[in-house]
Amino acid sequence: MREKLLVNEVAKLLNVSSHTIRYYDKEGLLTSENDEDSGYRLFDMDDVLRLSNVILLRDSGIPIKEIKSLIHNYSSENYKEKLQVALNNLQNERAKINQQENMIHNILNSFEEKTREFKIVKHKDVKYRFIRNIGYQEKLNSIECLHIFDELKDENINYLDLTYELKQDCKAFMIEDFEKGNIIIPAGEYIEYTFVVSEDKAIEKAVEAFYQHAEDKRIFLDEKIYLTIKPHGMLVVDNGYIAILFAKVKQSG
């Protein structure tokens, strides 16, 4: 009775392809042996355990050459070091996936936001990092955005949306940053106005409409008004970007 496993059985057990196992075997990462009668490669449980570790390290971004060196010149310290590198790779990949997931959520939400509307919503506390003040006639150029985002690329920051505090003579450009944010937009009830920025005067017209709506509805607002521009919204609207004006509603009494 056969006591060892065939390639396809190991592949099924570890949820990998037979081709992958043969490749690792060819690279000298395994110690399987040929069956004398059939000529098939056979694997015992030590081979399976070793293979599971090889797969873990390889799937975590460790090169074949380094795994091979680890196996043939094994030390617990070296193995620990490779596991730490693997863990770092996985954490970086998770952060990248989370960012991509947020982007997809934002784009899906943009399909709901593309119609102009006013609504009252509840906001949680959100921290922002102040970047710099920008004149109303000034725009962030592509090179400047590249430098800003390049500085922040290794941090868990939502820079998909551009947020500004609209001041009397300038816009304060901010980026959402829960860890190092130095500006807090407090929790509370906010009025939001969603519109499309398709011309230079669009924001100015939206601010006028925003205050007019609040006045007509007898809604009293805090002095600070904020603007969020969603660049990914250009995939949703024909010409322009989706933007949201929002301000905190003053509580009566």
pLDDT single digits (tens) 73-112: 888 888 899 889 999 988 888 888 887 787 677 667 666 6
| Intervals of CATH 1.10.1660.10 along the chain | 7-74
Q: What angle do CA 238, 244, 250 make, to 5 degrees?
A: 160
For the full predicted model, state whether its pTM sits above 0.75. Answer: no
| Assigned token pair, 144 | 């400047």
Give the pLDDT band (50/70/90) at residue 157.
low
Q: Span 164-191, mean pLDDT?
A: 87
**Full DSSP string of 112-176:** HHSS-EEEEEEE--EEEEEEEEE-TT----HHHHHHHHHHHTTS--EEEEEEEEE-SS-EEEEEE
Give the pLDDT band (50/70/90) at residue 239.
low
Alpha-carbon span 227 to 232, nearest angstrom: 15
The pLDDT value recorded for residue 43 is: 84
| Assigned token pair, 3 | 């006591």
Alpha-carbon span 192 to 214, nearest angstrom: 10
| Intervals of CATH 3.20.80.10 along the chain | 111-249
Question: Among residues 115, 86, 119, which one has the least CA distance to residue 219?
Answer: 119
Question: Among residues 129, 134, 141, 115, which one has the least CA distance to residue 194?
Answer: 115
Question: Among residues 102, 117, 131, 113, which one has the least CA distance to residue 240?
Answer: 113
* 25-70 tens-digit pLDDT: 888 888 777 766 666 888 888 888 888 888 988 988 889 999 988 8
111-249 folds as Multidrug-efflux Transporter 1 Regulator Bmrr; Chain A (3.20.80)
* Domain 7-74, CATH class in plain words: mainly alpha
Residue 222 backbone dihedrals phi, psi, to 5 degrees: -65, 165
The pLDDT value recorded for residue 129 is: 86
